[in-house]
Amino acid sequence: MKKICFAVYFLIRGATLFAEDGYRLWLRYDKIDNPSLLQHYRNIISGIQFPASSPTLIVAKKELVDGLEGLLGKKLNVAERQNIASVRVGTFSMPLINSIIKNDNLNLGNEGFFIVTKKINGKNNILIAADSDMGVLYGVFQFLRLLQTHQSIEKLSIISIPKIQNRILNHWDNLNRIVERGYAGASIWNWHLLPGYIDKRYIDYPRANASIGINGTVLTNVNANALVLTKLYLEKVAALANVFRPYHIKVYLTARFSAPIDIGGLKTADPLNVDVRNWWKQKVDEIYNYIPDFGGFLVKANSEGQPGPQSYGRTHADGADMLADALAPHNGIVIWRAFVYDIPATQNTNAETQTFAGLPYSLNDRFKQAYNEFKPLDGKFRKNVSIQVKNGPIDFQPREPFSPLFGAMPQTPLVMEFQITQEYLGQATNLVYEAPLFKECLDADTYIKGKGSIVAKVIDGSLENYSVTAMSGVANIGNERNWTAHPFGQANWYAFGRLAWDYNFSPAQVADEWLRQTFTNDLHFVEAAKKIMLMSRETLVNYMTPLGLHHIMGTGHHYGPAPWVSNAGRADWNPVYYHRADSVGIGFDRTEKGSNALSQYSVEVKTQWEDVNSCDEKYLLWFHHMPWNYKMRSGKTLWEELCYKYYAGVDSVRWMQTTWEGLKNYVDIERFEQVQMLLAIQEKEAVWWRNACLLYFQTFSKMPIPPNYEKPDHDLEYYKAL
Amino acid sequence: MKKICFAVYFLIRGATLFAEDGYRLWLRYDKIDNPSLLQHYRNIISGIQFPASSPTLIVAKKELVDGLEGLLGKKLNVAERQNIASVRVGTFSMPLINSIIKNDNLNLGNEGFFIVTKKINGKNNILIAADSDMGVLYGVFQFLRLLQTHQSIEKLSIISIPKIQNRILNHWDNLNRIVERGYAGASIWNWHLLPGYIDKRYIDYPRANASIGINGTVLTNVNANALVLTKLYLEKVAALANVFRPYHIKVYLTARFSAPIDIGGLKTADPLNVDVRNWWKQKVDEIYNYIPDFGGFLVKANSEGQPGPQSYGRTHADGADMLADALAPHNGIVIWRAFVYDIPATQNTNAETQTFAGLPYSLNDRFKQAYNEFKPLDGKFRKNVSIQVKNGPIDFQPREPFSPLFGAMPQTPLVMEFQITQEYLGQATNLVYEAPLFKECLDADTYIKGKGSIVAKVIDGSLENYSVTAMSGVANIGNERNWTAHPFGQANWYAFGRLAWDYNFSPAQVADEWLRQTFTNDLHFVEAAKKIMLMSRETLVNYMTPLGLHHIMGTGHHYGPAPWVSNAGRADWNPVYYHRADSVGIGFDRTEKGSNALSQYSVEVKTQWEDVNSCDEKYLLWFHHMPWNYKMRSGKTLWEELCYKYYAGVDSVRWMQTTWEGLKNYVDIERFEQVQMLLAIQEKEAVWWRNACLLYFQTFSKMPIPPNYEKPDHDLEYYKAL
């Protein structure tokens, strides 16, 4: 007995030698720490019957057995005898399922699943069933999630079907392992060691993705390198695709438009040139030889220096359709990005001295350009082309109104592009839960087909009857031990997957799930940490860009405040272009008197936002240049409200810090300290943003920071010098 | 009882959820798996008495308690009561030590330690004692190693004193986290998150280093960025130094010679300019304000584009002495690198067409340049300047003769620079244990003061009475989960530290220790894996550069064979410059008839190597251009011997593969498979090297590959195209 106790002691202790390094993400499967619940689960789950022969069913079964054995802390009976098993898993084509339930009228489709409690021989059994292998896989992960989050499994009846067909991560990973806008170390794709070396991450990556419903991944940066399309690299891509396939993750690549020149030896990449078209056709055939279920191409063309069809006097449609024709025989798709902007060369001159306050608004307001370029092309694209549109019209700001393209292209499937990596959201140091940002956009009403025409219904195809639907998220994944550097960065990866599966999930619900799986089910912890998460995005908006301010961060690296910058290489890279602060007021006039960008929205939206009285104040400076003493709904002047928001942002970070301090005893010391240190950095950065922005805007408003607020501890010159 | 069994089962199982990811390196402290040995250790170690108040003693005590509790699988009694403790730890100034033993005549110095078994009140006690806190720390790690490697601890009497004062890792890490010649992901220094965020690696890094005796680290690349000397970065450096300090790890930085211009606003960096000298003085004072125990500067100057004193018509001594004067008041040192080479501009022209076969040998043979530049400066350096010399005269080749500088500068302390990262040794894919390479150089006899004047005795100062001694190793560390990408890469980090502590350790002994700590003490495994390790470097030499060939790899990235390259930007970047194969023969004539580089060695060495009959054949083509049909000692012609060596290299890799396959049941599946996959890649690369080199050299020798050898499966053009 003493020996056993020693053994137990050691094993407990030994486990602590493995610190909680975050590598396991939300798939932790540690034993249920509530004894009565554990006993209850053990009673219900007496064994598993899961005949698995296909690769997808085999990995699903392994996940289920590993997961349950971890959660229940016991070896499971996985024999095929019916009198032991109480959990039956399989497709509706299998007798162990269809002898009990039918899939009539369930309409599960290719990916949906059904988890249901059924009495068999007087005993309750749980069936996890689907029409397809991948449906079973998703059902298994959902069942494990029920236990991981301490839900009841007594009387189950869960039908779940994804709203969007293609739920895709976009990796902005270069072949040299540098991740553009990546803040979590190097790319997890070690191209040098592929195809011979299969890193353990290449298995845990599709596991994590499948568990939240992601079914596609673009491996390479939209600022593309054609080398990935060469034989040498396709062998490496195929090795990854082979590992991902059982988990129902399709591989996509970015296609550099000049690839026929770069690696094909041609003199042109003109999409109407026969040799070019043939080259792509052969290249695509070659790709499908390596990767029979290849997803297709993601393309950034004629944007920020990337080559494209316009270099040959052709349209985006000409370019996309050429690739689509090559992909069509293999059922591949083209996802063409709408992130394009260009301004007349004349506006680029004298960048050193340009200021925008008081100048007439450009007709080429960057806000308008994606719409201007793509709207006329509606109907010109092949069936297997989608246009990928960033959630907002500019570039992943802390808050943007929805892009006016959503709803404006009824004949062209539009793909939502969210950015999971926190390029403008504090990068690796700020705790910002993005589900509220995603949701705000998805829930926004375009009024395109009357009230209720929310962006989500554009994207899911229900409004315009799209044949292809997709949602993309720019990944925040790197090779740091915990994948995302900030422990709470994992929540954004998780939330993207869950909302792409079903945008009806609430941010609170997703946060709740994630916290329970990732940290603990202790209610005190979950409730407090959830509050932190749910307030975090609004907090960031407040200390960075309240009231509709946008794009006033440092140029290039996009880190820290720099509203004073006016010398960037092109006009619309300059913060002063966007805030236009002057002695009169602040904000970008996008009404008819200004750039008239509002005219790109439906009448209902335009009417609401062009009138300062009906415009939501959170978008005020997105659309209006308002006087400093304008009276806000709060009764404060605009300047006072701006001060209030910036100070409220910092105060909220401090509240997050205090709240986190109180959670010390509920979470492992490693991650507790990580978040504690990061929140301390975030507090410093919030103060930096607040002080730098208010001191700078004060040079225009000439109004005081209200006396009851703590004084900035440095002057403007100090912040400019940082 | 059943409940306990469940608990035990779960804990065993739970542990497997934490895969062996390699993060713990050789500090695993898992429970001793030999029951009788475990009982024996438990009997001897009944408790610990270790009064710890200083930061170093506190971390040493934590390490000892954590380590022993893990190894023994039980909670230790760490009370201060003498009747329980059987292990006493402390300095000789403490009564619990000096009441039992004295340090008379031990000469432990500042870092040595003494571990001894003493009877106290009739019971055997173990004392771990030292004159200093760091000595105690090193003693603790040695004591843990005894248990980790299953050594007897019954009658201990171990005195260990380092032979070299400064045992330093050189990180070639850029501030943007790209590691030059790094193959293990991004830099572990996350400058963006410092100083606020202390990554767990910043604690485990000094732990690992202290455990093998490393006491210094140069954080930044020798191709330096002056930014690291600014206030912003010094705060970050100080945060690292604060974490490292208890572990007795000093921080060094690389000093970019042009820093006074880059960040100081000066117009010159002339080392004799008063403003420049003052700038450095103030900068150094500032650094010591942040880091009171700052180690000093490592400098690469006037080499490969780096700025240096020669840009101002000054000597290396002028530059080094300026920095030394600034550092001297703080006891800091300058380590100035001798890796310089430059050739007359005229030789750089027509690089496209240059071939060296048949051309007269340049007087500026790159082999000779470090010696030519530095030997005349002997005696010109300040007391706190050392010159850091790469082990060989060219650049970290699989095999080089020792640099002729060793022994040639009696008045200047010379620092050994080894490269742990495998720039030329197969990078991240090849299993190459470097201890035999390090040892071959350290044991080489310079004959400078007669027979026995081995390189190690130059470095440790015993031959010339140096006041400062040091050994540097260019780190192979990155942010991959297991630190070094290849699991056996950890062995090279380990071996560097152990040999820097005491070069008398044998490669076999070090491999044995490392294997036991890192994998298992199972003798079957240890013996087989040790064989693999010990043969691995000679194997690599055979399939890459046998018989004294060197520098025939791909230019720039230094990966893969490219003996045919003749168009690199400068003459001595071209493989053809080094092998000089022609219809007559192959090899670089460095005798009097050639470049006369041999004249840089002592007469004894020169005499031995200049005569082909006494020259060790492993160095033959380093020093001689030999005819293809030259009769080797084996009786084969040179061409046949070359073939034999290349084929033997590939055969050995295959043997390594087979041997590793046989170890599957002795090691965790994760690392087993990692090494298995990497060996498969290595086998392919070895075949690639063999075939490419032999097919290419065959175009000169016009001789057949012996018929009993497997035929190359591609022709030369195929390999050239790779």
Tokens in use for A718?
């100090």
Q: Give the model's pLDDT for residue A10.
A: 36
- The confidence band for A569, taking pLDDT boundaries of 50, 70 and 90, is confident
A588 touches chain B (CB under 8 A): no
Q: Give the model's pLDDT for residue A362.
A: 66
Write B531-534 long-range contacts (CB < 8 A, 24+).
B531/B659, B532/B431, B532/B656, B532/B659, B532/B660, B533/B431, B533/B433, B533/B488, B533/B491, B533/B507, B534/B433, B534/B436, B534/B507, B534/B508
Q: Give the model's pLDDT for residue B79.
A: 75
Q: Give the model's pLDDT for residue A360.
A: 64
Mean pLDDT on A603-618: 98
Nearest neighbour of B197 by CB, restricted to A193, A198, A677: A677
Q: Give the model's pLDDT for residue B342.
A: 65
What is the per-residue pLDDT across B92-144, written as a single tens digit (0 to 9) for each?
Answer: 999 999 999 998 889 999 999 999 999 998 899 999 999 999 999 999 999 99
Query: Cis omega (within 30 of 0) on the bond before A195?
Result: yes
Q: Residue B138 and residue B114: Cα distance in Å, rounded?
A: 10
pLDDT at B345 over 50: no
Say if CB B364 and CB B343 are below 8 A apart: yes
Bridging pattern class, strands A113-120 and A157-160:
antiparallel
Candidate list B21, B30, B304, B661, residue with the active-site label: B304
**Residues of chain B with pLDDT > 90: what percent?**
89
- The confidence band for B569, taking pLDDT boundaries of 50, 70 and 90, is confident
Nearest neighbour of B7 by CB, restricted to A8, A192, A681: A8
Q: Residue B458 and residue B471: Cα distance in Å, rounded?
A: 11
- The confidence band for A81, taking pLDDT boundaries of 50, 70 and 90, is low
3-state secondary structure of A15: helix
**Residues of chain B with pLDDT > 70: what percent?**
94
Say if the Cβ atoms of B74 and A10 lie within 8 Å.
yes
What is the per-residue pLDDT across A387-435, written as a single tens digit (0 to 9) for each?
Answer: 999 999 999 999 999 999 999 999 999 999 999 999 999 999 999 999 9
* CA dist B454 → A470, B339, B464, B603, B622 (Å): 69, 21, 12, 15, 20
Q: Give the model's pLDDT for residue A572.
A: 85
A9 touches chain B (CB under 8 A): yes
Single-letter residue type at B696: Y
Contact list in B for residue A17 (CB cut-off 8 A) is: 24, 28-30, 66, 70
pLDDT at B354 over 50: no
Tokens in use for B243?
């974490």
Q: Residue B454 and residue B450: Cα distance in Å, rounded?
A: 9
pLDDT at A6 over 60: no
Q: Residue B312 and residue B269: Cα distance in Å, rounded?
A: 8
3-state secondary structure of B412: coil
Contact list in B for residue A196 (CB cut-off 8 A) is: 429, 677-678, 680-681, 684
Q: Give the model's pLDDT for residue A15.
A: 39
Tokens in use for B264?
């100081």
Contact list in B for residue A21 (CB cut-off 8 A) is: 23, 200
Nearest to B8, CA basis, from A45, A5, A32, A66: A5
B198 touches chain A (CB under 8 A): yes
Nearest neighbour of B196 by CB, restricted to A21, A192, A680: A680
**What angle do the packed helices A55-72 and B2-17 form, to 10 degrees?**
130
Taking CA–CA distances from A200, the nearest residue in chain B reads: B670
> Would residue A58 be called left, alpha or beta, if left means φ above 0 and alpha means ψ between -120 and 50 degrees?
alpha
- For every residue of A49-81, DSSP letters joined together read E----SHHHHHHHHHHHHHHHHHHTS-----S-
Q: How many CB pairs under 8 A join A and B?
A: 147
Candidates B36, B197, B230, B675: best to mutate against A (most CBs of A within 10 A) is: B197
pLDDT at A236 over 60: yes
Q: Give the model's pLDDT for residue A363.
A: 63
Q: Please tell me the least confidently modeled range out of B49-63, B341-355, B464-478.
A: B341-355
Output the average pLDDT for chain B: 93
Task: Judge whether A304 counts as a catalytic residue.
Answer: yes
Candidate list A21, A33, A154, A304, residue with the active-site label: A304
Tokens in use for B662?
């046989």
**What angle do the packed helices A523-544 and A638-661 form, to 10 degrees?**
150
SS3 sequence of A341-362: CCCCHHHHCCCCCCCCCCCCCC
B29 touches chain A (CB under 8 A): yes
Q: Please tell me the least confidently modeled range out of B186-200, B323-337, B541-555, B564-578.
A: B564-578
Per the listing, tokens 């006097």 go with A313
Q: Give the model's pLDDT for residue B9.
A: 35
Q: Residue A72 and residue A41: Cα distance in Å, rounded?
A: 7
User: Residues 6 or more apart from B496 whose CB is under 8 A from it?
Assistant: B169, B212, B214, B418, B420, B434, B438, B473
Write A162-165 long-range contacts (CB < 8 A, 24+).
A162/A111, A162/A112, A162/A213, A162/A500, A162/A501, A162/A502, A163/A456, A163/A460, A163/A501, A163/A502, A163/A503, A163/A504, A164/A459, A164/A460, A164/A469, A164/A470, A164/A471, A164/A500, A164/A501, A164/A503, A165/A468, A165/A469, A165/A470
Say if CB B46 and CB B85 are below 8 A apart: yes
Say if CB A468 and CB A386 are below 8 A apart: yes
pLDDT at A456 over 50: yes
Strands (E), A219-279: 250-254
Candidate list B173, B365, B423, B512, residue with the active-site label: B423
Candidates A480, A674, A684: best to mutate against B (most CBs of B within 10 A) is: A480
Q: What is the CA radius of gyration of chain A?
A: 27
- Exposed e or buried b per residue across B569-602, where buried means at least 16 C-beta atoms within 10 angstroms of its C-beta: ebbbbbbbbbbbbbeebbbbbbbeebbbbbebbb
Say if the Cβ atoms of B196 and A69 lie within 8 Å.
no
Mean pLDDT on B482-511: 98
Contact list in B for residue A75 (CB cut-off 8 A) is: 9, 13
Single-letter residue type at B697: F
Q: What distance lies between CA B580 and its chain's CA centroid?
A: 30
Contact list in A for residue B8 (CB cut-off 8 A) is: 4, 7-8, 11
Nearest to B214, CA basis, from B26, B453, B22: B26
Q: How far is B694 from chain A (nearest CA, A)?
A: 24
- The confidence band for B360, taking pLDDT boundaries of 50, 70 and 90, is low
Contact list in A for residue B557 (CB cut-off 8 A) is: none
Q: How far is A185 from chain B (nearest CA, A)?
A: 6
pLDDT at B565 over 80: yes
Output the average pLDDT for chain A: 93
Q: Give the model's pLDDT for residue B521.
A: 97
Q: Residue A24 and residue A13: Cα distance in Å, rounded?
A: 20
Question: In this structure, is the dihedral angle defined by the CA atoms of residues A257, A258, A264 and A269, taken in order, positive or negative?
Answer: positive
3-state secondary structure of B438: helix
Mean pLDDT on A199-227: 98
User: Residues 6 or more apart from A721 whose CB is under 8 A from it?
Assistant: none
Q: Residue B209 and residue B420: Cα distance in Å, rounded?
A: 14
Say if CB A160 and CB A133 are below 8 A apart: no
Q: Residue A347 and residue A351: Cα distance in Å, rounded?
A: 8
ipTM value, please give it.
0.92
Count helices and strands (H / E) in chain B: 23, 15
Q: Give the model's pLDDT for residue A8.
A: 38
pLDDT at A80 over 80: no
What is the per-residue pLDDT across A255-296, written as a single tens digit (0 to 9) for each?
Answer: 999 999 999 999 999 999 999 999 999 999 999 999 999 999
Q: How far is A423 from chain B (nearest CA, A)?
A: 14
Bridging pattern class, strands B385-390 and B414-419:
parallel
- For every residue of A520-568, DSSP letters joined together read ---HHHHHHHHHHHHHHHHHHHHHHSGGG--S-BPTTT--SB-TT---S
Task: Judge whether B395 counts as a catalytic residue.
Answer: yes
Element holding B124 (H helix, E strand): strand B123-130
Four-CA torsion B6, B8, B13, B17, nearest 10 degrees: 120
- The confidence band for B344, taking pLDDT boundaries of 50, 70 and 90, is very low
Mean pLDDT on B397-404: 98
Contact list in A for residue B178 (CB cut-off 8 A) is: 178
Q: How far is B534 from chain A (nearest CA, A)?
A: 24
A24 touches chain B (CB under 8 A): yes
Write A368-371 long-range contacts (CB < 8 A, 24+).
A368/A393, A368/A595, A368/A597, A368/A600, A369/A340, A369/A341, A369/A342, A370/A338, A370/A339, A370/A340, A370/A341, A370/A403, A370/A405, A371/A403, A371/A404, A371/A405, A371/A408, A371/A600
Q: Give the model's pLDDT for residue A517.
A: 98
- Say which DSSP state B118 is in: E
Report the 10 Å Cβ neighbour count for A445.
18
Nearest neighbour of A677 by CB, restricted to B13, B17, B196: B196
Say if the Cβ atoms of B30 and A14 lie within 8 Å.
yes
Nearest to B350, CA basis, from B42, B567, B515: B567
Q: Give the model's pLDDT for residue B346.
A: 38
Mean pLDDT on B439-445: 98
**Alpha helices (H) in B100-156, listed in sequence order:** 133-148
* CA dist A31 → A149, A467, B120 (Å): 12, 44, 47
Mean pLDDT on B567-573: 84
Q: Residue B643 and residue B635: Cα distance in Å, rounded?
A: 14
Candidate list B69, B204, B395, B670, residue with the active-site label: B395
Q: What are phi and psi of B628, to 5 degrees?
A: -55, -30
Q: Give the model's pLDDT for residue A341.
A: 77
Nearest neighbour of B677 by CB, restricted to A23, A198, A677: A198
Say if CB A258 and CB A270 are below 8 A apart: no
pLDDT at A18 over 70: no
- For every residue of A458-470, DSSP letters joined together read HHTSTTTT-S--E
Greatest pairwise CA separation for chain A in angstroms: 86
Q: Give the model's pLDDT for residue B2.
A: 41
**What angle do the packed helices A316-327 and A274-290 form, to 10 degrees?**
40
Candidate list A69, A199, A286, A395, residue with the active-site label: A395
Say if the Cβ atoms of A17 and B70 lie within 8 Å.
yes
Per the listing, tokens 């509050």 go with A531
Q: Which of residues 379-418 of B touch A (CB under 8 A)?
A: none
Four-CA torsion B679, B680, B682, B683, nearest 10 degrees: 120
Q: Give the model's pLDDT for residue A265.
A: 97
Q: Residue A303 and residue A72: Cα distance in Å, rounded?
A: 53
Task: Judge whether A325 counts as a catalytic residue.
Answer: no
- The confidence band for A7, taking pLDDT boundaries of 50, 70 and 90, is very low
